[in-house]
């Protein structure tokens, strides 16, 4: 049996991030199989540190991963803090650095200058390019739920984490037609979910069903040649499609200018706003927990956008448990030459080669050789 890895689960530096990539129950299984797991202290993580120690994990102060031994795999979810400038470890998290996003070049440069490697969870895929661990369902669920609550005027800021039972109660409280009429006319407000057959799309549709909102479900067939008149004939638009190459946008400024447009709330679950792959180029900055919705335009036909890039953290326990169940088996195979992680590493190496400003990657501490893998084109969304 190959040696089990040493996993170092870091504290998340973003104050609103309460999820964990590995929950105590799954950590206990990995420890029983021989893995070493160090869990950093965190004042915001939804799972108490004592649950991890009971599972057999070691503990460490928040942020101490920077001084951890070279052979550990640093596991997280969202962005790294600004220091250290040079990254020498193998990091497992959502880097959002392969499609020219804001800060992508700087992040890749930190890895190449320090000799570290990024194993981006967005590119943890099977041989067919399908994501193996994703928060997509819960991202879609929360994104659609927030859109409904905002449309009803019951969304309060700043947002606070809660559980699914409480969120469902809020959605159900306004079901049965109380979503109101569209500001574009007398029809009862309805919704359109783009990418409805993917994980995130299914989550969005489930939330809208709890809320009692009539929902049109579009996927590949409906977006191959867009019927723009049909697209703008809905009150709520939920986009759950994350693309890996530029495609014609789903919603444009001129669509919002169309007098037939009924859209009043846009929920972009993907938040790919700084990438050339953005399919909703009608806004230029994400929203956040302090200000979940932002006006795209006012006047007689107002339109608001919700674009929060860590939506599942609103339901941190449910989202973490689902994600950890998918990720944990793969974490146990880190450092073994497993094809899943080899493809993930190949995506990093391809991104480094393709990035005009990044330096050549140094010798890989993960494996020898240099095989690149093409980015996944699955319809999934940000974590």
Please give the pLDDT value at position 272: 86
Tell me if residue 60 falls in helix, strand or coil: strand
Looking at 251, 282, 314, the residue that finishes a domain is: 314
Q: What pLDDT band is residue 326 in, cutting at 50, 70 and 90?
A: very high
Residue 354: band (very low, low, confident or very high) from pLDDT cuts 50, 70, 90: confident
Q: Which of 54, 53, 55, 46 is nearest to 20 (CA)?
A: 46
Structural domain harbouring 211: 136-314
For residue 359, what pLDDT band results from cuts at 50, 70 and 90?
Answer: very low
Residue 382 lies in a domain: no
> Residue 378: inside a domain, yes or no?
no
270 and 153 inside one domain: yes
Residues classed as catalytic = 78, 96
* Contact present, 79 and 102 (Cβ < 8 Å): no
Tell whether 335 and 246 lie within a shared domain: no
**CA angle in degrees (0–180, nearest 5) for 125-131-136:** 160
pLDDT recorded at residue 175: 73
Residue 375 has pLDDT above 60, yes or no: no
The reported pLDDT for the residue numbered 378 is 34
Report if residue 191 sits inside a domain: yes
Residues 187 and 289 occupy one common structural domain: yes
Q: What is the pLDDT of residues 287-310, one digit of tens each?
A: 999 999 999 999 999 999 999 999
Residue 62: predicted pLDDT: 98
What DSSP string describes 163-194? -HHHHHHHHHTT-SSTT-B-TTSSSBP-EEEE
In whole angstroms, what is the distance from residue 220 CA to residue 191 CA?
A: 18
**Model pLDDT, residue 383:** 57
- Residue pLDDT, tens place only, 238-290: 999 978 788 999 999 999 999 999 999 999 999 988 788 899 999 999 999 99
Number of domains observed in the structure of the chain: 2
If asked whether residues 145 and 251 sit together in one domain, one would say yes
282 plus 167 within the same structural domain: yes
Q: Are residues 272 and 292 in the same domain?
A: yes
Q: How would residue 186 be classed by pLDDT, with cut points 50, 70 and 90?
A: very low
Asked whether residue 376 is domain-assigned, the answer is no
356 strand-pairing partners: none
**Nearest to 175, CA basis, from 161, 185, 189:** 189
Name the pLDDT band for 366 (thresholds 50, 70, 90). Answer: very low
Q: Is the pLDDT of residue 361 over 70?
A: no
Give yes or no: residues 144 and 280 share one domain.
yes
Same domain, residue pair 123 and 207? no
Task: Say what the pLDDT of residue 276 is.
Answer: 85
CA angle 98, 249, 194 (to 5 degrees): 90
The whole-chain average pLDDT of the chain stands at 89
């Amino acid at each position: 049996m190959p040696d089990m890895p040493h996993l170092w689960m870091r504290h998340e530096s973003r104050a609103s991030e309460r999820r964990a990539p590995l929950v105590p129950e799954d950590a206990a299984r990995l420890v029983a199989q021989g893995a070493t797991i160090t869990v950093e202290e965190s004042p915001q993580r939804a799972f108490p540190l004592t649950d991890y120690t009971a599972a057999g994990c070691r503990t460490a102060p928040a942020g101490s991963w920077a001084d951890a031994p070279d052979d550990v795999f640093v596991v997280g979810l969202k962005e790294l803090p600004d220091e250290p400038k040079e990254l020498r470890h193998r990091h497992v998290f959502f880097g959002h650095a392969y499609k020219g996003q804001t800060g992508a070049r700087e992040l890749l440069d930190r890895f190449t200058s320090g000799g570290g490697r990024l194993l981006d969870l967005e590119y943890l895929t099977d041989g067919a390019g399908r994501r193996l661990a994703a928060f997509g369902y819960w991202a879609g669920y929360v994104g659609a739920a927030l859109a409904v609550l905002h449309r009803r005027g019951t969304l309060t800021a700043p947002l606070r984490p809660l559980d699914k039972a409480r969120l469902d109660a809020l959605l159900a409280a306004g079901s049965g037609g109380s979503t109101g009429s569209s500001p574009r006319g007398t029809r009862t407000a309805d919704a359109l979910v783009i990418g409805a057959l993917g994980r995130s799309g299914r989550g969005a549709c489930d939330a809208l069903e709890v809320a009692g909102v009539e929902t049109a479900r579009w996927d590949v067939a409906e977006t191959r040649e867009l019927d723009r008149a049909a697209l703008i004939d809905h009150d709520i638009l939920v986009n759950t499609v994350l693309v890996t190459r530029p495609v014609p946008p789903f919603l444009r400024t001129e669509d919002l200018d169309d007098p037939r447009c009924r859209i009043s709330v846009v929920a972009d679950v993907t938040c790919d706003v700084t990438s050339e792959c953005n399919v909703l180029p009608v806004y230029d900055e994400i929203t956040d927990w302090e200000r979940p919705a932002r006006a795209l335009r006012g006047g007689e036909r107002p339109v608001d956008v919700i674009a929060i890039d860590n939506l599942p953290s609103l339901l941190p326990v449910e989202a973490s448990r689902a994600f950890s169940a998918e990720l944990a088996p793969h974490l146990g195979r880190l450092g073994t030459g497993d094809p899943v992680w080899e493809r993930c590493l190949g995506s990093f190496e391809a991104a480094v080669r393709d990035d005009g400003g990044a330096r050549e990657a140094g010798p890989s501490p993960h494996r020898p050789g240099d095989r690149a893998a093409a980015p996944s084109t699955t319809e999934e969304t940000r974590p």
